[in-house]
Structure 1
């Protein structure tokens, strides 16, 4: 196994439970990949994803790797519902909160905030998003990528009828403008895309499935942060006999007789294997974006009633002048020195290192200032409460994880002639398999967990389904 990101960890646990002898080689000093943690002065922060979507993926992992049905997800970590799912501050100052896993509640909240009919328009789009979910769930999430993925290049979003005909919608931004109309609803849809690392202007209309999944299946927080989930999966690997070698960079996959036969490390050591699973970050897709993160250590208790997640909407694009900022403020004693302090994480979806030089003198700090000013709408007393901040740029992510440019892969999507599909889970060489965010079905902890189930099934001789 190459790499110890979430997909590789989940695959290692499944394979070891099935009786395989598994060794994981990781270039970094720890596990988790992009699911990292920063600690200082009693504060702790998730430096990657902060929320868990589709928690059933990890419930399945822990059930399938347990002994005698014991050791479920909830027995090793505390999984909490986040309700409201999110609060929102629009550019015009309008504020509202959306309940978790309640389509009717979302409709009512939008009507109250944006005017009668706004909720209905949003609900109609979510009804069409349900169709996208139903027709793409198996081929995009539960099965390995088809040998001929051409059908997935067609966007399954059933656009609203205009006159006698339905007209294809070229992008998520075009869908929002055409079918939602209200600038607040357009900002809401754009915000969902950005949180998943997508530019609404280029993402296909099928990206409506992302808010549909959240509003249908809910959003969860793992007590102790997402790093606690990574730790639980790592512990399950160790319990099933997986061996780990940290600080061991793999430089190439060794081939013999036309198939993968092991790996070569940077020091020249060759480790033989019957099967190689590669979980390293791959070449980004043209549309892959990155994340800029500001970690805030705050004096003063977290105010009662504070939403776990607040989105301060800007331009609705990966725009460094008017950023859309996601603010995570978990009510978690494990992430603060005491109840007289609070930790918060600000995240902005941006261009990766390369198109933007995040290492240019003063550039990152100036952008962090802009981000911090923007969230004054969510934390109005921020200037008085701030003890210190830590800034993490795409260049920092690239150095820590090996991801080119610090790009963060988004989940796979149908449409756009296949531009948002990832590499298939079978590598180009027999005996080589690909797992994690750079492989099908794409980025995010839930999708990485699904890629692990697919790869484990392929190695077991199955068709490659997350069963």
Structure 2
């Protein structure tokens, strides 16, 4: 039985902890905050309840596997999950609205034909068939296996089978980015373009530079479905936490780790803020790269042949709205209200002069979440709504001007969300803003940056470092390491780290 210290109680860290405890190890989790869950936070006020992180789950099979492997109670006995229908409503810049069904690629095609015109569905379906090929080629190396030592094969080879665009008297072109897929293969139709590019934008990626392999993002969502949890996604975090407790994982909250102890070139434990040293045979760090670098200088650095940590990713702005009046029965759980000027939005986020808190993104695409969940409201005559948008990361030292700018942008999101909820302002009781600085406080990531999932191609710029650190006995878990950000990816990273510790370097991934 090994002694294992886990730094942080995020989803990836807790997934690793539960799996390691089942394997017979003694696992202690040290979390600097007062609670578990990482980005899966929850705000409760006046009987209203809001998720402050992801509001839906894709690929629930990841967590089903966790619960099967760590106990007798399956996931659905611990969390009430339901497929939402429709999966999402899109409100495009021209006012066109379309509802896309859940886990039905054929239904998505029919819905697009009905709202965007004949042929739109066929173009999207043909694209999704090619996206399936990219998924089949990358699923194991990017999600189910430790990062290959020869990861440059993933970096150099584009798995998406793009279609050649033949041009008279000119060399044919093939899509290498998500934006080029929209232009070459979706005919440049502005609403299909907005639909496709949203999958990158929502994850903090510029569709103009995101590799064509990002086609796996819409494929994953539209093939495997979108799920909500009674009690919000915080309920999923609670279920994983309780599974850890059932497997005798120990938790120490408000217990900040200030240093990873190294002995003879190996991680040998951690030092806490009060000076206590906790010995360990292995250390699992579920923290951002800059935090890891402070805990053990050199641990997070990479050699010339290793994947460098990603940096400069945007953050999220979340606005929590308490509304008077009942939630309409026909209201979708999730609505994406697209920016009125898509090019301007992308330029302000990713251009040569990116937006800053004092010069924020204008007319940002906003996701409106309206859960049909009794735990989110004081009674049936009220409704809780959450608005989320991708925004620049917070500056190192937020000043009054930047805070005022975020407040202005929050008001802009509320106004933009009226395209989905026309009577929003009339019903508004109060609102709270969760800024990038709040994410930075919760996760330790510089500026509150949110990690994106790993993607193939793009010279490896969209890969994340492997889970085995340069220091022996130290492993990294969570969104900033392989296979990247997102709830499913966090669960997969936990499984990979557990496999590497239990089976050793010969571990080849889940079967």
Q: Give the TM-score normalised by structure 1.
A: 0.96
- 1:430 maps to 472
Give 3-state SS (helix, strand or coil) of 2:82's partner: strand
**Distance in 1, Cα, partners of 2:55 & 2:382:** 19
Correspondence 1:137-216 to 2 at 5 A: 137-153=139-155, 154-163=157-166, 167-180=173-186, 181-216=188-223
- Quote the offset at 1:115 in angstroms: 0.6
Question: Unmatched 5+ residue regions in structure 2?
Answer: 1-5, 291-308, 349-360
| Cα distance in 2 for residues equivalent to 1:439 and 1:321 | 31
Distance 1:171 1:306 in 2: 34
Paired position in structure 1 for 2:315: 290
Distance 1:380 1:267 in 2: 53
Task: Measure how far apart 1:173 and its partner are.
Answer: 1.5
**Secondary structure of 1:80's partner?**
strand
The structure 2 residue matched to 1:231, chosen from 227, 230, 238, is 238
CA distance in 2, matches of 1:366, 1:42: 26
Match of residue 353 from structure 1: 394
1:7 Cα deviation (Å)?
A: 0.2
In 2: Cα distance, 1:464 partner to 1:358 partner: 48
TM-score (structure 2 length as normaliser): 0.88
Please tell me the root mean square deviation across aligned C-alpha atoms, in Å. 1.6
Q: Match for 2:491 among 443, 449, 465?
A: 449
Query: Paired residue for 2:294?
Result: none
Aligned counterparts of 1:261 and 1:464: Cα–Cα separation in 2: 25
* CA positional deviation for 1:464: 4.5
Does the residue aligned with 1:460 lie in a helix, a strand or coil? Answer: helix
In 2: Cα distance, 1:343 partner to 1:464 partner = 44
- Asked if 1:218 is matched to 2:225, the reply is yes
Query: Structure 2 matches for 1:11-22, cutoff 5 A?
Result: 11-22=16-27
- Report deviation, 1:436: 0.5
What's the counterpart of residue 300 of structure 1? 325
Aligned 1:27-426 pairs, distance under 5 A: 27-66=32-71, 70-153=72-155, 154-163=157-166, 167-180=173-186, 181-283=188-290, 285-286=310-311, 288-314=313-339, 315-316=341-342, 317-318=345-346, 319=348, 320-354=361-395, 360-426=402-468
The 1:322–1:356 alpha-carbon spacing in structure 2 relative to 1, beyond 3 Å, is farther
Secondary structure at 2:43 match in 1: strand
Kept after mapping to 2: 8 A contact 1:28/1:401: no
Q: Secondary structure at 2:77's aligned position in 1? A: helix
Partner of 1:2: 7
Deviations, residues 393-437 of structure 1 (Å, cap 9, x unaligned)? 111211222121100101100111000101100011111111000
CA contact under 8 A between 1:276 and 1:431: conserved in structure 2?
Answer: yes
- Number of equivalenced pairs: 464
Partners of 2:108 and 2:320 in 1: how far apart?
30
CA distance in 1, matches of 2:82, 2:461: 35
Deviates more, 1:344-353 or 1:313-322: 313-322
